[in-house]
């Protein structure tokens, strides 16, 4: 960054005219404000890099001393508490993927439809009532959602799905989907509402109805923003902890059947952190190995989402 | 008026003719009075005499409590270009947008009076008339090009698909015809499946015209179609408007006097939500009868 002196192309004479002094002061203000903003932006990068650094550092010890990365990625058993521990991440990954999949298959369609309704169909008064109510859904603490899944959703589902165990991924995923709906609908609605009215008028002037305009013109025009909403939804689902910890069970289980109990990566981290863990023990380090896997997953989805947004960005 | 006769005999598309003295019998301040005495613009002498495509009678329009249009009467002639001129805020666009009821999209808007589409005799602004059907019969081109976020092909095919045409060959043929008639076929035929946003502004506007005429409307509304374009693109669009006149009744809003005088057959001068003067373009520009019109077209307004 240039020093403030270099920004000033004014000779250091004593008698400057008022405009030069004004310009100097402005440039100082610019420089100071710019520096503060740079520091704020830099701090978030520093924090992110530190997190990645700590994750990498701790898990490198884990991967060199406890288990090889190949076994970690290919072994089908995750039994760190057993006398003969095995550290295969796959059961935790499937648990995470299945609950995420169930949650997203609720949250993305419902969230999109809600957003479409609020943006294109709802009268003004209805929108102003429903939107804050929906956003309150995301203000409910997730532990409450967890017990909602366990105490309400599971008994309800047991009426339709015979033999459904008390702890299962289906119930956890559905409730997690409900939790994510407002994230998806709120951001998607903002994206749809920012589509210029001119584009809607164009569609209506061709003789399109509301449904056709909404789904064939507004939706693709807003898709870049809607993709951001989806990415946020995916990240929330992968990272969600309390709902799955409470209602999906705490046993690693390599299965793609949502009716079964299973453990997600996040639930494992909660579970293992509850016990007395010796600093530097394999159990302690396994937290970081699980954490870096989680990070890799969310990062992958974020990059995919970024590509999606770039691909569908519209310049209207 | 003898519009009822047109209802019974829709085959007689030339009835009622503007020159028919019976048409303006009941209306004293009807613009038909002007058109009765109209001299056809000389450069179109070979044309058939004008017939009304749309007649507007005592149209009032309200945005909530604000009245934007006051008791308008007007005739849009078949196979002619009619220009609406007037200062900003005089209600030109508001008037144009009554023709396809695009005002219906916004709450609190209200129409009074009658806009009759011939030869069916439908009152466009009647509540019982389906605006979607009217919009399929009356096409509109907007001030700024507004292609849909789709490929060039799908943009032009949009109205056809809305009309339920799914046959691939028919779609291809009609898209090609529409793009050829707006003179951009040669420029885009190799990239029909690329996004419409990759085109220049002038191309986008011609695409929007192609999209509108592909659906074969009966009337073409154009709301300042050249205001966002450079002079070369404007020239191409004006040339196109003169071509479109052969098939449609064209109503065009413009701020550009030269454009109105070059491209239109009839001109209506609007001021403060009223039609001040309406007549053949030549007469409006060379021999206006109202002082306000003369001041406006000679640039001495205000």
Give how far Cα A70 sits from Cα of A74, A89, A254, A295, Å. Answer: 6, 10, 17, 18
CA distances (Å), B252 to each of A124, A294, B95, B141, B184, in order? 33, 60, 11, 9, 21
Question: What's the gap in Å between the CA of B155 and the closest CA on chain A?
Answer: 10
Q: What string of H, E and C letters represents the secondary structure of B73-97?
A: EEEEECCCEEEEECCCCCCHHHHHH
**pLDDT tens digits, one per residue of A76-91:** 888 887 778 888 899 9
pLDDT of amino acid B48: 65
- Range with lowest mean pLDDT among A109-113, A150-154, A200-204, B25-29: B25-29
For residue A6, pLDDT over 70 is answered with no
Residue with the larger pLDDT of the pair A273 and A118: A118
What radius of gyration, in Å, describes the C-alpha atoms of chain A? 26
CA distance B152 to B189: 9
Opening angle at CA A109, ends A108 and A111, nearest 5: 65
Using a CB-CB cut-off of 8 Å, the residues of chain B touching A200 are: 105
Tell me if B148 and A201 make a contact (CB, 8 A cut-off): no
Q: What is the pLDDT, as a whole number, of residue B18?
A: 46
Is residue A183 within 8 A of residue A229, CB to CB? The reply is yes
> pLDDT tens for residues B188-214?
889 999 888 888 888 899 899 999 989
> What single-letter DSSP state applies at residue B225?
T
Task: Tokens for A211, please give them.
Answer: 């449904």
Mean pLDDT of all residues in B43-60: 76
Q: How far apart are CA A309 and CA A183, in angstroms?
A: 17
At residue A6, what are phi and psi to the nearest 5 degrees? -70, -25
Q: Do the chains contact at B139 and A124, CB–CB below 8 Å?
A: no
Q: Does B2 have pLDDT greater than 60?
A: no
pTM for this structure? 0.79
Q: pLDDT tens for residues B124-162?
A: 888 888 999 899 999 999 999 999 999 999 999 999 999
Q: How far apart are CA A253 and CA A95, in angstroms?
A: 7
**Average pLDDT in chain A:** 88
Return the H-helix or E-strand segment holding A311. Answer: helix A282-312
> Is the CB of A204 less than 8 angstroms away from the CB of B102?
yes
Environment class of residue B99 by beta-carbon count within 10 Å: exposed (0-12), middle (13-18) or buried (19+)?
buried
Q: How many CA atoms lie within 13 A of B150 on its CB side?
A: 21
Nearest CA in chain B to A121: B105
Tokens of A105: 């298959």
Rounded to 5 degrees, what are φ and ψ at B42?
-60, -35
* Residue that wins the pLDDT comparison between A26 and A313: A26
Q: Where are the alpha helices (DSSP H) in chain B?
A: 3-8, 31-36, 92-98, 131-137, 152-162, 168-181, 185-188, 201-214, 231-244, 257-263, 281-286, 291-297
pLDDT at B42: 44
Which pLDDT belongs to residue A315? Answer: 59
Q: Compute the Cα dihedral for B256, B258, B264, B270 and give only its sign.
A: positive
Residue A252, pLDDT above cutoff 50: yes
Q: What is chain B's Cα-based Rg?
A: 19
Q: Of the segments A133-137, B145-149, B182-186, which one has the largest average pLDDT value?
A: B145-149
Higher pLDDT, B53 or A8: B53
Enumerate the residues of chain B whose CB falls inside 8 A of the CB of residue A124: 107
Which positions in chain A touch B144 (Cβ < 8 Å)? Answer: 198
pLDDT at A281: 80
Give the per-residue pLDDT at B14.
Answer: 38
Percent of chain B with pLDDT over 70: 83
pLDDT over threshold 50, residue B21: no
What is residue A16's three-state secondary structure?
coil
Contact B142 A201 (CB under 8 A): yes
Q: What residues of B are in the A interface, CB distance below 8 Å?
A: 100, 102, 105, 107, 132-133, 135-136, 139-140, 142, 144, 146-150, 158-159, 162-163, 197, 208, 211-212, 215
């Amino acid at each position: 960054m240039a020093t403030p002196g270099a920004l000033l192309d004014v000779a250091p004479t004593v008698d400057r005219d008022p405009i030069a002094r004004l310009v100097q002061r402005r440039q100082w203000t610019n420089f100071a404000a710019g520096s503060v903003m740079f520091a704020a932006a830099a701090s978030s990068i520093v924090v992110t890099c530190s997190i990645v650094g700590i994750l990498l550092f701790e898990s490198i010890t884990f991967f060199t001393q406890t288990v090889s990365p190949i076994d970690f990625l290919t072994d089908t058993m995750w039994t760190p508490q057993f006398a003969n521990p095995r550290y295969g991440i796959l059961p935790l990954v499937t648990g995470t993927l299945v609950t995420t999949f169930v949650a997203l298959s609720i949250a993305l369609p419902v969230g999109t439809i809600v957003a479409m309704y609020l943006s294109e169909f709802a009268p003004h008064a209805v929108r102003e009532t429903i939107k804050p109510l929906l956003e309150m859904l995301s203000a409910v603490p997730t532990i409450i959602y967890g017990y909602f899944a366990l105490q309400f959703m599971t008994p309800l589902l047991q009426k339709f799905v015979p033999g459904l165990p008390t702890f299962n991924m289906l119930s956890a995923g559905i409730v997690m989907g409900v939790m994510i709906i407002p994230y998806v609908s709120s951001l998607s609605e903002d994206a749809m509402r920012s589509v210029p009215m001119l584009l809607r008028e164009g569609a209506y002037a061709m003789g399109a109805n509301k449904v056709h305009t909404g789904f064939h013109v507004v939706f693709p025009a807003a898709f870049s923003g809607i993709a951001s909403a989806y990415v946020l939804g995916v990240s929330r689902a992968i990272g969600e902890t309390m709902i799955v910890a409470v209602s999906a069970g705490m046993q690693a289980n390599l299965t793609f059947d949502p009716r079964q109990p299973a453990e997600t990566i996040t639930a494992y981290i909660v579970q293992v952190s509850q016990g007395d863990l010796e600093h530097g023990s394999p159990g302690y380090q396994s937290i970081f190995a699980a954490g870096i896997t989680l990070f890799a997953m969310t990062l992958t989805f974020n990059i995919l989402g970024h590509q999606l947004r770039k691909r569908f960005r519209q310049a209207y | 008026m003898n519009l009822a006769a047109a209802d019974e005999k829709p085959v007689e598309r030339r009835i009622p003719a503007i020159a028919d003295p019976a048409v303006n019998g009941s209306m004293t301040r009807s613009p038909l009075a002007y058109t009765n005495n109209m001299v056809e613009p000389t450069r179109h002498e070979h044309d058939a005499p004008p017939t009304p495509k749309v007649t507007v009678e005592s149209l009032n329009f309200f945005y909530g409590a604000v009245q934007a249009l006051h008791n308008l009467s007007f005739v849009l002639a078949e196979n002619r270009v009619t220009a609406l001129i007037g200062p900003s805020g005089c209600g030109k666009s508001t008037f144009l947008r009554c023709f396809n009821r695009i005002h219906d999209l916004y709450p609190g808007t209200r129409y009074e009076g009658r806009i009759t589409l011939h030869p069916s005799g439908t009152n466009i602004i009647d509540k019982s008339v389906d605006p979607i059907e009217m919009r399929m019969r009356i096409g509109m081109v907007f001030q700024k090009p507004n292609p849909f976020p789709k490929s060039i092909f799908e943009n032009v095919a949009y109205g056809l698909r809305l009309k339920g045409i799914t046959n691939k060959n028919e779609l291809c043929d009609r898209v090609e015809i529409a793009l050829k008639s707006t003179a951009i076929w040669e420029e885009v035929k190799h990239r029909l499946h690329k996004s419409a946003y990759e085109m220049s502004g002038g191309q986008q506007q011609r695409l929007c015209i192609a999209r509108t005429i592909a659906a074969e409307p009966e009337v073409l509304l154009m709301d300042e179609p050249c205001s966002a374009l450079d002079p070369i693109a404007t020239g191409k669009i004006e040339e196109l408007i003169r071509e479109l006149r052969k098939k449609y009744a064209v109503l065009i809003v413009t701020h550009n006097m030269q454009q109105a005088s070059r491209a239109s057959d009839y001109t209506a001068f609007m001021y403060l939500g009223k039609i001040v003067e309406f007549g053949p373009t030549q007469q409006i520009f060379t021999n206006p009868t109202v002082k306000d019109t003369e001041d406006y077209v000679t640039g001495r307004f205000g």
